[in-house]
Amino acid sequence: MLDANSVTQTLVATNTVDPDGCGLGVIPGSGPAQGVTRNPFNGAIDCIDSGFANGGKRLVEGLEITASYDLPTEHFGRFIVSAGWNHFFAWKGQAGAASSNTSFLGNFDNRTLPFAPGAIPWNKGFFRGEWKWKGFDFVATVNYIGDFRDDPAFDTVPRPERRTVPSYVTLDLQLGHEWERPEMDWGNSADSKNAKNNARSSTIWQRILWGTKLTVGVNNAFDRNPPTVLAAVNDNYDTSLYSIRNRYCYIAVSKRF
């Protein structure tokens, strides 16, 4: 038969993984051991000593510009034009504290961590036009992904210069319509009365549709394939920049109560 002292010693032996106790060995080289320290009586975790190190870092320098212009009109609705442009000056990655910096800017790389496979093009941008009129909302967006250099190790054709993966432009279109509930101007009794009369005279289907928005759209309207990347041996394109889904059509319905 074991006495209470023997049981306590057994629990201490089986539950204390870290031999130097809590708070030691946190920083690599500061203590003889790292691990988990448990309560000797109920097995609960008292503390965990674990080493840490900088797993990697990135150095990114760039410029991003976005502009928007809103033009309301009296008879033709509202026009909104916006555009954005992003340009990188530097994009470097470091896998670990002792590793050297590797530039991914303008180059496809499928061998170097921490960013592989993939490329960072120098430029990206978009141009967006929107038209709103009587519940209708039409949006057209042009997306631009700039060119970059392919990995020369996978280029089997002799070239005086490295192969360039061309830029990629797609067009997204979206058309929506929302059935809006008539607004009531409580500050003007005449307008409020007219709005109430219009609401009362509305049919049951009009009332059901109030707050409902129907949206149809298509992404990559011209069904353009992503540009070929020779170094992307598994997919033949950069999966970090493009989608192989190509043209994608959708319908969406939302309801506000």
Between CA 171 and CA 139 the distance in angstroms is 11
Q: Indicate yes or no: pTM above 0.85.
A: no
Mean pLDDT of 134-159: 88
Between CA 252 and CA 257 the distance in angstroms is 17
Between CA 120 and CA 152 the distance in angstroms is 16
Q: What is the pLDDT of residues 200-218, one digit of tens each?
A: 666 777 677 777 899 999 9
List the Cα angle 67/73/76 in 5-degree steps: 110
pLDDT at 192: 56
- Three-state DSSP class for 191? helix
Percent of the chain with pLDDT over 70: 74
Give the up-direction half-sphere exposure of residue 227: CA atoms within 13 A in the CB hemisphere: 19
Between CA 44 and CA 37 the distance in angstroms is 9
Who's near 57: CB < 8 A, 6+ residues apart? 93, 94
Please choose, from the candidates 89, 26, 39, 34, the residue with its C-alpha nearest in 3D space to the C-alpha of residue 63.
89
Between CA 64 and CA 19 the distance in angstroms is 53
Given pLDDT bands bounded at 50, 70 and 90, which one contains residue 8? Answer: very low
Between CA 230 and CA 119 the distance in angstroms is 13
What residue segments make up the domains of the chain, in order of their start? 4-49, 57-255
Q: What tokens does 151 get?
A: 């990995």
Question: Above 90 in pLDDT, residue 137?
Answer: yes
Q: What tokens does 227 get?
A: 């540009």
Please tell me whether the peptide bond between 19 and the residue prior to it is cis, using omega within 30 degrees of 0: no
